[in-house]
A = this chain, B = another copy of it.
Amino acid sequence: MGLSPTQLGMSARVYAEYETPPQSRSLSDIVRQAGITADLAAVEEHLSARTASRSRLLADAGAHIIAAGGKRLRAALVVLAARLGAYEAARARRPAIAMELLHAASLVHDDLVDNAGQRRGRVTVHERWDKDVALMLGDYFFALAASELAAEPDPRIIRFYANAAQTLVEGELSPVTTLEPLETALAQYFTKIGSKTAVLFETACKAGIAVAGGDEAQIAALGGYGYDLGLAFQIVDDVLDFIGDEAALGKPAGNDLREGTLTLPLIYAVAQSNHPLLREVARTARPDPGRVPQLVAVVVGAGGAVRAMDEARALVSRAAAHLASFPPSPARDALATIGDFVLERQQ
Protein backbone atom coordinates (compact mmCIF):
# COMPACT_ATOMS: atom_id res chain seq x y z
CA MET A 1 0.00 0.00 0.00
CA GLY A 2 2.03 2.96 1.24
CA LEU A 3 -0.49 5.61 0.14
CA SER A 4 0.27 8.99 1.65
CA PRO A 5 -2.52 10.95 3.33
CA THR A 6 -2.60 13.24 0.29
CA GLN A 7 -2.96 10.35 -2.11
CA LEU A 8 -5.87 9.17 -0.02
CA GLY A 9 -7.60 12.50 -0.58
CA MET A 10 -7.42 13.23 3.12
CA SER A 11 -8.93 16.48 4.27
CA ALA A 12 -6.56 19.22 5.38
CA ARG A 13 -7.91 18.90 8.89
CA VAL A 14 -7.07 15.23 9.33
CA TYR A 15 -3.73 15.79 7.61
CA ALA A 16 -2.84 18.59 9.99
CA GLU A 17 -3.74 16.53 13.00
CA TYR A 18 -2.01 13.36 11.94
CA GLU A 19 0.88 14.18 9.75
CA THR A 20 2.32 17.04 11.79
CA PRO A 21 0.70 17.09 15.21
CA PRO A 22 1.17 20.40 17.02
CA GLN A 23 3.20 18.76 19.79
CA SER A 24 4.04 15.10 19.56
CA ARG A 25 4.14 13.60 23.04
CA SER A 26 5.85 10.31 23.54
CA LEU A 27 4.81 7.98 26.32
CA SER A 28 8.39 7.84 27.59
CA ASP A 29 8.40 11.66 27.96
CA ILE A 30 5.19 11.45 29.98
CA VAL A 31 6.60 8.62 32.08
CA ARG A 32 9.80 10.59 32.72
CA GLN A 33 7.97 13.75 33.74
CA ALA A 34 5.83 11.76 36.17
CA GLY A 35 8.97 10.28 37.72
CA ILE A 36 8.00 6.64 37.15
CA THR A 37 10.74 5.63 34.69
CA ALA A 38 12.50 3.45 37.27
CA ASP A 39 9.20 1.85 38.32
CA LEU A 40 8.45 0.82 34.76
CA ALA A 41 12.00 -0.42 34.25
CA ALA A 42 11.44 -2.69 37.26
CA VAL A 43 8.17 -3.91 35.73
CA GLU A 44 10.04 -4.69 32.51
CA GLU A 45 12.73 -6.60 34.34
CA HIS A 46 10.20 -8.67 36.28
CA LEU A 47 8.23 -9.30 33.11
CA SER A 48 11.28 -10.84 31.47
CA ALA A 49 12.07 -12.91 34.54
CA ARG A 50 8.48 -14.17 34.88
CA THR A 51 8.22 -15.34 31.30
CA ALA A 52 11.17 -17.67 31.65
CA SER A 53 9.83 -21.23 31.63
CA ARG A 54 11.10 -24.77 32.13
CA SER A 55 9.81 -25.32 28.60
CA ARG A 56 12.39 -24.04 26.13
CA LEU A 57 9.72 -23.34 23.50
CA LEU A 58 7.61 -21.30 25.89
CA ALA A 59 10.67 -19.41 27.11
CA ASP A 60 11.84 -18.58 23.56
CA ALA A 61 8.42 -17.61 22.22
CA GLY A 62 7.69 -15.67 25.40
CA ALA A 63 10.94 -13.73 25.08
CA HIS A 64 10.08 -12.96 21.43
CA ILE A 65 6.80 -11.36 22.53
CA ILE A 66 8.15 -9.55 25.57
CA ALA A 67 11.17 -8.24 23.65
CA ALA A 68 8.84 -6.91 20.94
CA GLY A 69 7.97 -4.40 23.60
CA GLY A 70 4.98 -2.35 22.86
CA LYS A 71 4.34 0.81 24.74
CA ARG A 72 3.62 -0.77 28.14
CA LEU A 73 0.77 1.71 28.34
CA ARG A 74 -1.27 -0.59 30.60
CA ALA A 75 1.62 -0.95 33.05
CA ALA A 76 2.05 2.85 33.05
CA LEU A 77 -1.66 3.27 33.84
CA VAL A 78 -1.40 0.88 36.81
CA VAL A 79 1.63 2.70 38.22
CA LEU A 80 0.20 6.20 37.66
CA ALA A 81 -3.15 5.22 39.19
CA ALA A 82 -1.31 3.78 42.19
CA ARG A 83 0.64 7.04 42.50
CA LEU A 84 -2.67 8.79 43.17
CA GLY A 85 -2.94 6.76 46.39
CA ALA A 86 -0.55 5.38 48.99
CA TYR A 87 2.01 4.13 46.49
CA GLU A 88 4.03 0.97 47.16
CA ALA A 89 6.21 0.01 44.20
CA ALA A 90 6.22 -3.74 44.94
CA ARG A 91 2.43 -3.96 45.18
CA ALA A 92 1.74 -1.81 42.12
CA ARG A 93 4.19 -3.89 40.12
CA ARG A 94 2.08 -7.05 40.32
CA PRO A 95 -1.04 -5.77 38.54
CA ALA A 96 1.23 -3.86 36.12
CA ILE A 97 2.90 -7.13 35.12
CA ALA A 98 -0.43 -9.01 35.10
CA MET A 99 -2.09 -6.46 32.79
CA GLU A 100 0.79 -6.61 30.31
CA LEU A 101 0.72 -10.43 30.40
CA LEU A 102 -3.03 -10.53 29.88
CA HIS A 103 -2.69 -8.04 27.03
CA ALA A 104 0.14 -10.08 25.45
CA ALA A 105 -1.87 -13.32 25.82
CA SER A 106 -4.86 -11.83 24.07
CA LEU A 107 -2.69 -10.41 21.26
CA VAL A 108 -1.05 -13.79 20.63
CA HIS A 109 -4.42 -15.54 20.47
CA ASP A 110 -6.03 -12.74 18.42
CA ASP A 111 -3.20 -12.89 15.89
CA LEU A 112 -3.79 -16.64 15.70
CA VAL A 113 -7.53 -16.18 15.07
CA ASP A 114 -6.89 -13.40 12.54
CA ASN A 115 -4.00 -15.36 11.02
CA ALA A 116 -1.95 -12.15 11.18
CA GLY A 117 1.62 -12.41 9.88
CA GLN A 118 3.00 -9.38 11.66
CA ARG A 119 2.47 -7.43 14.86
CA ARG A 120 4.30 -4.16 15.49
CA GLY A 121 6.51 -4.94 12.49
CA ARG A 122 7.65 -8.26 13.96
CA VAL A 123 6.66 -11.70 12.80
CA THR A 124 3.90 -13.23 14.95
CA VAL A 125 4.43 -16.27 17.19
CA HIS A 126 2.35 -18.64 15.08
CA GLU A 127 4.34 -17.61 11.99
CA ARG A 128 7.77 -17.81 13.63
CA TRP A 129 7.03 -21.08 15.46
CA ASP A 130 3.63 -22.63 14.80
CA LYS A 131 -0.03 -22.41 15.78
CA ASP A 132 0.35 -24.82 18.69
CA VAL A 133 3.11 -22.76 20.26
CA ALA A 134 1.01 -19.60 19.89
CA LEU A 135 -1.95 -21.35 21.50
CA MET A 136 0.12 -22.64 24.40
CA LEU A 137 2.05 -19.39 24.87
CA GLY A 138 -1.22 -17.46 25.21
CA ASP A 139 -2.47 -19.99 27.76
CA TYR A 140 0.84 -19.75 29.60
CA PHE A 141 0.65 -15.96 29.79
CA PHE A 142 -2.95 -16.17 31.08
CA ALA A 143 -1.72 -18.51 33.81
CA LEU A 144 1.29 -16.31 34.61
CA ALA A 145 -0.98 -13.27 34.95
CA ALA A 146 -3.16 -15.15 37.43
CA SER A 147 -0.02 -16.33 39.29
CA GLU A 148 1.22 -12.78 39.56
CA LEU A 149 -2.02 -11.63 41.20
CA ALA A 150 -2.35 -14.71 43.39
CA ALA A 151 0.32 -13.14 45.62
CA GLU A 152 -1.73 -9.94 46.08
CA PRO A 153 -3.51 -9.84 49.45
CA ASP A 154 -6.44 -7.65 48.29
CA PRO A 155 -8.91 -10.15 46.75
CA ARG A 156 -10.53 -7.44 44.61
CA ILE A 157 -7.53 -7.44 42.30
CA ILE A 158 -7.90 -11.02 41.13
CA ARG A 159 -11.62 -10.31 40.69
CA PHE A 160 -10.81 -7.36 38.43
CA TYR A 161 -8.41 -9.58 36.49
CA ALA A 162 -10.86 -12.47 36.09
CA ASN A 163 -13.59 -10.13 34.90
CA ALA A 164 -11.24 -8.53 32.39
CA ALA A 165 -10.07 -11.88 31.03
CA GLN A 166 -13.65 -13.04 30.59
CA THR A 167 -14.73 -9.81 28.91
CA LEU A 168 -11.75 -9.82 26.54
CA VAL A 169 -12.83 -13.18 25.14
CA GLU A 170 -16.46 -12.08 24.79
CA GLY A 171 -15.20 -8.99 22.95
CA GLU A 172 -13.25 -11.09 20.49
CA LEU A 173 -16.49 -12.90 19.65
CA SER A 174 -18.72 -9.79 19.41
CA PRO A 175 -18.33 -8.60 15.83
CA VAL A 176 -19.97 -5.59 14.23
CA THR A 177 -22.34 -7.27 11.79
CA THR A 178 -24.22 -4.33 10.30
CA LEU A 179 -23.48 -0.75 9.21
CA GLU A 180 -27.08 0.47 9.24
CA PRO A 181 -29.04 1.72 11.04
CA LEU A 182 -26.36 3.91 12.61
CA GLU A 183 -27.59 3.32 16.17
CA THR A 184 -27.28 -0.47 15.83
CA ALA A 185 -23.85 -0.24 14.23
CA LEU A 186 -22.62 2.13 16.98
CA ALA A 187 -24.03 -0.08 19.74
CA GLN A 188 -22.25 -3.13 18.28
CA TYR A 189 -19.02 -1.19 17.76
CA PHE A 190 -18.88 0.21 21.29
CA THR A 191 -19.77 -3.16 22.80
CA LYS A 192 -16.89 -4.68 20.88
CA ILE A 193 -14.21 -2.11 21.63
CA GLY A 194 -15.44 -1.77 25.20
CA SER A 195 -14.88 -5.51 25.72
CA LYS A 196 -11.74 -6.00 23.72
CA THR A 197 -9.83 -2.84 24.65
CA ALA A 198 -11.45 -0.49 27.17
CA VAL A 199 -11.99 -3.08 29.90
CA LEU A 200 -8.26 -3.72 30.16
CA PHE A 201 -7.52 0.02 30.50
CA GLU A 202 -10.29 0.26 33.10
CA THR A 203 -8.93 -2.74 34.98
CA ALA A 204 -5.37 -1.38 34.95
CA CYS A 205 -6.53 1.89 36.52
CA LYS A 206 -8.83 0.25 39.08
CA ALA A 207 -6.17 -2.26 40.14
CA GLY A 208 -3.57 0.52 40.45
CA ILE A 209 -5.61 2.71 42.81
CA ALA A 210 -6.97 -0.33 44.70
CA VAL A 211 -3.52 -1.66 45.66
CA ALA A 212 -2.68 1.88 46.79
CA GLY A 213 -5.57 1.82 49.26
CA GLY A 214 -8.08 3.77 47.15
CA ASP A 215 -11.71 3.79 48.28
CA GLU A 216 -14.66 2.65 46.15
CA ALA A 217 -15.34 6.16 44.81
CA GLN A 218 -11.73 6.56 43.72
CA ILE A 219 -11.73 3.10 42.12
CA ALA A 220 -14.94 3.99 40.23
CA ALA A 221 -13.53 7.35 39.09
CA LEU A 222 -10.30 5.83 37.78
CA GLY A 223 -12.23 2.95 36.25
CA GLY A 224 -14.29 5.52 34.34
CA TYR A 225 -11.14 7.34 33.24
CA GLY A 226 -9.57 4.09 32.04
CA TYR A 227 -12.66 2.89 30.19
CA ASP A 228 -13.16 6.16 28.28
CA LEU A 229 -9.45 6.39 27.53
CA GLY A 230 -9.53 2.81 26.25
CA LEU A 231 -12.47 3.54 23.93
CA ALA A 232 -10.58 6.56 22.55
CA PHE A 233 -7.43 4.48 22.16
CA GLN A 234 -9.23 1.85 20.09
CA ILE A 235 -11.00 4.45 17.94
CA VAL A 236 -7.63 6.05 17.15
CA ASP A 237 -6.30 2.58 16.33
CA ASP A 238 -9.17 2.08 13.93
CA VAL A 239 -8.65 5.54 12.38
CA LEU A 240 -4.93 4.82 11.91
CA ASP A 241 -5.91 1.74 9.94
CA PHE A 242 -7.33 4.18 7.38
CA ILE A 243 -4.85 7.04 7.49
CA GLY A 244 -1.77 5.74 9.30
CA ASP A 245 1.67 5.15 7.89
CA GLU A 246 2.28 1.51 7.01
CA ALA A 247 5.91 1.59 8.15
CA ALA A 248 5.02 3.08 11.53
CA LEU A 249 2.11 0.68 12.07
CA GLY A 250 3.99 -2.40 10.94
CA LYS A 251 0.97 -3.53 8.93
CA PRO A 252 -0.66 -2.46 5.67
CA ALA A 253 -3.36 0.25 5.65
CA GLY A 254 -6.91 -0.95 5.16
CA ASN A 255 -6.11 -4.12 7.07
CA ASP A 256 -9.42 -4.09 8.94
CA LEU A 257 -11.43 -3.73 5.72
CA ARG A 258 -9.43 -6.52 4.14
CA GLU A 259 -10.41 -8.78 7.02
CA GLY A 260 -14.03 -7.71 6.97
CA THR A 261 -13.77 -5.85 10.30
CA LEU A 262 -16.24 -2.95 10.38
CA THR A 263 -14.94 0.01 12.40
CA LEU A 264 -16.03 3.54 13.32
CA PRO A 265 -14.61 5.48 10.33
CA LEU A 266 -16.51 3.16 7.98
CA ILE A 267 -19.68 3.31 10.10
CA TYR A 268 -19.65 7.13 10.02
CA ALA A 269 -18.73 7.26 6.31
CA VAL A 270 -21.74 5.08 5.50
CA ALA A 271 -23.94 7.33 7.67
CA GLN A 272 -22.91 10.54 5.93
CA SER A 273 -22.29 9.66 2.27
CA ASN A 274 -24.20 8.13 -0.62
CA HIS A 275 -21.08 7.07 -2.51
CA PRO A 276 -22.00 3.90 -4.45
CA LEU A 277 -19.14 1.93 -2.93
CA LEU A 278 -20.36 2.79 0.58
CA ARG A 279 -23.95 1.87 -0.39
CA GLU A 280 -22.72 -1.50 -1.53
CA VAL A 281 -20.73 -2.12 1.66
CA ALA A 282 -23.72 -0.99 3.75
CA ARG A 283 -25.95 -3.50 1.95
CA THR A 284 -23.62 -6.48 2.29
CA ALA A 285 -21.70 -5.50 5.45
CA ARG A 286 -18.76 -7.21 3.71
CA PRO A 287 -16.07 -5.04 2.17
CA ASP A 288 -14.81 -6.47 -1.12
CA PRO A 289 -11.08 -7.20 -0.49
CA GLY A 290 -10.25 -6.26 -4.08
CA ARG A 291 -11.50 -2.72 -3.61
CA VAL A 292 -9.83 -1.93 -0.29
CA PRO A 293 -7.50 0.86 -1.51
CA GLN A 294 -10.44 2.63 -3.17
CA LEU A 295 -12.69 2.10 -0.15
CA VAL A 296 -10.05 3.50 2.21
CA ALA A 297 -9.97 6.70 0.12
CA VAL A 298 -13.77 6.90 -0.06
CA VAL A 299 -14.18 6.50 3.71
CA VAL A 300 -11.62 9.21 4.41
CA GLY A 301 -13.09 11.45 1.71
CA ALA A 302 -16.56 11.05 3.21
CA GLY A 303 -15.24 12.39 6.52
CA GLY A 304 -15.47 9.08 8.36
CA ALA A 305 -12.01 9.42 9.91
CA VAL A 306 -12.60 13.03 11.00
CA ARG A 307 -15.87 12.22 12.72
CA ALA A 308 -14.34 9.19 14.44
CA MET A 309 -11.52 11.43 15.71
CA ASP A 310 -14.12 13.90 17.04
CA GLU A 311 -15.61 11.01 18.99
CA ALA A 312 -12.18 10.00 20.34
CA ARG A 313 -11.53 13.59 21.39
CA ALA A 314 -14.85 13.78 23.24
CA LEU A 315 -14.02 10.51 25.05
CA VAL A 316 -10.60 11.80 26.10
CA SER A 317 -12.30 14.90 27.56
CA ARG A 318 -14.77 12.69 29.41
CA ALA A 319 -11.86 10.56 30.66
CA ALA A 320 -10.05 13.65 31.98
CA ALA A 321 -13.19 14.78 33.83
CA HIS A 322 -12.99 11.62 35.96
CA LEU A 323 -9.64 12.86 37.28
CA ALA A 324 -11.12 16.07 38.74
CA SER A 325 -11.78 14.56 42.16
CA PHE A 326 -8.06 13.86 42.71
CA PRO A 327 -5.77 16.64 43.95
CA PRO A 328 -3.23 17.94 41.43
CA SER A 329 -0.04 15.85 41.25
CA PRO A 330 2.54 14.81 38.66
CA ALA A 331 0.72 11.46 38.32
CA ARG A 332 -2.64 13.15 37.70
CA ASP A 333 -1.03 15.42 35.12
CA ALA A 334 0.51 12.41 33.44
CA LEU A 335 -2.84 10.61 33.23
CA ALA A 336 -4.39 13.71 31.65
CA THR A 337 -1.50 14.00 29.22
CA ILE A 338 -1.85 10.35 28.23
CA GLY A 339 -5.21 11.38 26.75
CA ASP A 340 -3.40 13.75 24.40
CA PHE A 341 -0.82 11.08 23.66
CA VAL A 342 -3.61 8.68 22.69
CA LEU A 343 -5.09 11.24 20.29
CA GLU A 344 -1.76 12.18 18.74
CA ARG A 345 -0.10 8.82 18.37
CA GLN A 346 0.97 7.64 14.92
CA GLN A 347 1.18 3.94 15.73
Binding site for B on A (CB under 8 A): 53-55, 57-58, 109, 112-113, 132-133, 135-136, 138-140, 142-144, 146-147, 149-153, 155, 158-159, 161-163, 165-166, 168-170, 172-174
Contacts and interface: CB of A to CB of B under 8 A. Distances in A.
Contacts of A109: 135-136, 139
A161 B57 CA distance: 23
Given A136-B169, A144-B166, 20 more contacts: A54-B174, A55-B169, A55-B174, A109-B135, A136-B172, A136-B173, A138-B139, A139-B142, A139-B165, A139-B169, A142-B142, A142-B165, A143-B162, A143-B169, A146-B161, A147-B163, A150-B155, A152-B155, A153-B155, A158-B158
Contacts of A136: 109, 113, 169, 172-173
Nearest to A54: B170
A267 to B, nearest CB: 21
B140 A169 contact: yes
A58 B139 contact: no
Contacts of A165: 139, 142-143, 146-147
Contact of A147 (B58, B135, B166): B166
Contacts of A169: 55, 58, 136, 139-140, 143
A159 B150 contact: yes
A162 B139 contact: no
Given A146-B161, A150-B155, A153-B155, A170 B55 contact: yes
Dominant secondary structure at the A interface: helix
A137 to B, nearest CB: 8
Contacts of A54: 170, 174
A143 B259 CA distance: 27
Contacts of A113: 132, 135-136
A168 B58 CA distance: 13
Contacts of A144: 166
Contacts of A112: 135
Taking each of A138, A150, A151, A159, which has the highest tally of chain B beta carbons within 10 Å of its own beta carbon? A150
A109 B149 CA distance: 24
Contacts of A55: 169-170, 173-174
